Amino acid sequence: MNINNVSLTISAVRKNQYPQNFFPEIAFAGRSNVGKSSLINKMLNRKSLARVSSKPGKTATINFYNIDDKLNLVDLPGYGFARVSPQEKKKWAVMIDEYLNTRDKLKQVILLVDSRHKPTEDDKTMLNFIRHVCDRAVIIATKFDKLKKSEQETSIRTIISELSLSGDDVIIPFSTINGLGVEELWCFINEEIMQ
């Protein structure tokens, strides 16, 4: 995809702050540190549009990116970060629930899972939320560059079976280091979301 102008429209914590444009929207969900912000940068070929950190809990707001006045990409705050108070967990849940259940132009929530680990209970819970608002599951297996060749197939199989993927569901291995999955994800977005 040929991209000219990308910008952060807003970092929102509640509905009345969401952008009022009518572009189709794709949101990225997943555990803290799984690579959501890095994936957005990689997809847009920008080094540090979305803030990335080796420490989990970097993205704490719902960040809306405008792609050429055609598409919104949304970086959701991560979950499963151990050092989080019950109040913060509650704030996260309210924010995510409000977003998922009220956003009309939301075409797909894409779930990122770490290809090196078995999906967590939190990942399964998140996928359940997603299944309530999306017809299919789209899963990104992140940090694929960290796997040995011999581990790659097992990783995909484990994700498929742990998350009970089937039918129309999609899984894409991804790496910000070697660009694996960038093309495939753009093809999916162009063919299945933008049509």
Q: Is 46 in the site for ligand GTP (CB under 6 A)?
A: no
CA distance 18 to 190: 24
Among 98, 81, 72, 78, which residue's Cα sits nearest to residue 37?
78
Work out what residue 66 binds among Mg ion, ligand GTP, none; the CB cut-off runs from 5 to 8 Å by kind: none
CA distance 63 to 37: 10
Residues that bind Mg ion (CB under 5 A): 36-37, 58-59
Query: Measured from the CB atom, is 9 or 32 closer to ligand GTP?
Result: 32
Q: Is 37 in the site for ligand GTP (CB under 6 A)?
A: yes
**Chosen residue from 36, 96, 141, 185 binding ligand GTP by CB under 6 A:** 36
Helices (H) and strands (E) in the chain, counts: 5, 7
Q: Is 146 in the site for ligand GTP (CB under 6 A)?
A: yes
Q: Which stretch binds ligand GTP (CB under 6 A): 122-130, 133-141, 156-164, 174-182?
A: 174-182
**To the nearest whole angstrom, how small is the minimum distance from the Cβ of residue 20 to ligand GTP?**
25
Joined together, the tokens standing for residue 113 give 């899972």
Among 186, 182, 161, 163, which residue's Cα sits nearest to residue 173?
182
